[in-house]
């Protein structure tokens, strides 16, 4: 099967629960045992986004569906410069210890970095520090929401939590935006948390 066909949604899938199980299983096949997060999260963002575009009647209000899907990750995960002396830049040092950076995504351009400490910012920062999913039916009522796209009306952010040595380490978040109010519900939360768990155990961090 061509890789792009992984994002097709068969007619036999009727519910959100079946949809998320399908996306989960397609992602597992796509990753295929390759464990680098850059490649796996790139395909995850594309697969989730394009699968949602293929199943719009169950998201948003039909006309206005999901408009963004992607990852923000702790900056220490990103490759360090090899050929320039960026380590001498005091600002980059500060950012390295306190921020998430934009990772693989599908959709329109978004903010490049999100502060998580000392003050968590936005829905993403809150999901990161709470270590739990944040479901936002109406972004205009959410204090501190970061409006990367003024057309976004609702949002869900799921943390990526790595269990290591008895400790929970949040390596980043999975963020989905929708053009309709109330675009996501508890079924989406269950489906996305299962996908987040798959991503966590399928990559080396
Ligand atoms: N709205 C998010 C920021 C990221 S964009 O939606 C892609 C937030 O409030 O954290």
The C-alpha atoms of residue 130 and residue 36 are separated, in whole angstroms, by 26
pLDDT for res 55: 86
Q: Judge residue 30's burial from the number of C-beta atoms within 10 Å of its C-beta, 0-12 exposed, 13-18 middle, 19 or more buried.
A: middle
**Residue to mutate, 113, 145, 151, ligand 1, most ligand atoms under 8 Å from C-beta:** 145
What are the DSSP calls for 176-200, one per residue? EEESSTT---HHHHHHHHHHHHHHH
Provide residues with CB under 6 Å of ligand 1.
68, 110-111, 114, 122-124, 145-146, 148, 155, 175, 177
The C-alpha atoms of residue 101 and residue 118 are separated, in whole angstroms, by 16
Using the mean position of ligand 1's atoms as its centre, give its distance from the Cα of residue 102 in Å. Answer: 10
Using only C-alpha atoms, the chain has a radius of gyration, in whole angstroms, of 17
Using the mean position of ligand 1's atoms as its centre, give its distance from the Cα of residue 89 in Å. Answer: 27
pLDDT for res 94: 52
pLDDT for res 93: 47
Report how far apart, in Å, the C-alpha atoms of 5 and of each of 9, 50, 69, 104, 157 are: 9, 10, 18, 20, 26
What is the arrangement of strands in the sheet containing 154-164, beginning at the earlier edge strand?
A: 113-115, 99-107, 66-74, 167-178, 154-164, 134-136
Using the mean position of ligand 1's atoms as its centre, give its distance from the Cα of residue 7 in Å. Answer: 24
**Residue 148 and residue 68 in contact, taking contact as beta carbons nearer than 8 Å:** yes
**pTM to 2 decimals?**
0.93
The pLDDT profile of the chain, 205 residues, written as one tens digit per residue, is 889 999 988 889 999 999 999 999 999 999 999 999 999 999 999 999 999 999 877 777 767 799 999 999 999 999 888 888 765 554 454 544 479 999 999 999 999 999 999 999 999 999 999 999 999 999 999 999 999 999 999 999 999 999 999 999 999 999 999 999 999 999 999 999 999 999 999 999 9
């Amino acid at each position: 099967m061509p890789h792009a066909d992984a994002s097709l949604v068969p007619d036999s899938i009727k519910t959100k629960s079946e949809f998320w199980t399908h996306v989960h299983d397609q992602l597992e096949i796509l990753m295929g045992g390759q464990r680098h997060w850059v490649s796996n999260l790139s395909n995850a963002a594309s697969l989730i986004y394009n699968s949602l575009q293929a199943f719009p009647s169950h998201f948003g209000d039909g006309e206005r569906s999901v408009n963004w899907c992607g990852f923000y990750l702790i900056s220490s995960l990103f490759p360090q410069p090899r050929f320039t002396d960026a380590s001498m830049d005091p600002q980059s040092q500060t950012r390295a210890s306190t921020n998430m950076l934009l990772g693989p995504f599908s959709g329109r351009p978004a903010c490049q970095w999100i502060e998580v400490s000392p003050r968590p910012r936005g829905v993403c920062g809150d999901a990161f520090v709470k270590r739990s999913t944040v479901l936002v039916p109406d972004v205009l009522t959410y204090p501190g929401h970061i409006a990367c796209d003024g057309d976004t009306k609702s949002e869900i952010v799921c943390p990526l939590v790595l269990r290591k040595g008895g400790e929970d380490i949040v390596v980043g978040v999975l963020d989905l935006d929708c053009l309709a109010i109330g675009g996501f519900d508890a079924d989406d939360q269950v489906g996305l948390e299962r996908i987040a768990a798959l991503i966590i155990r399928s990559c080396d961090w």
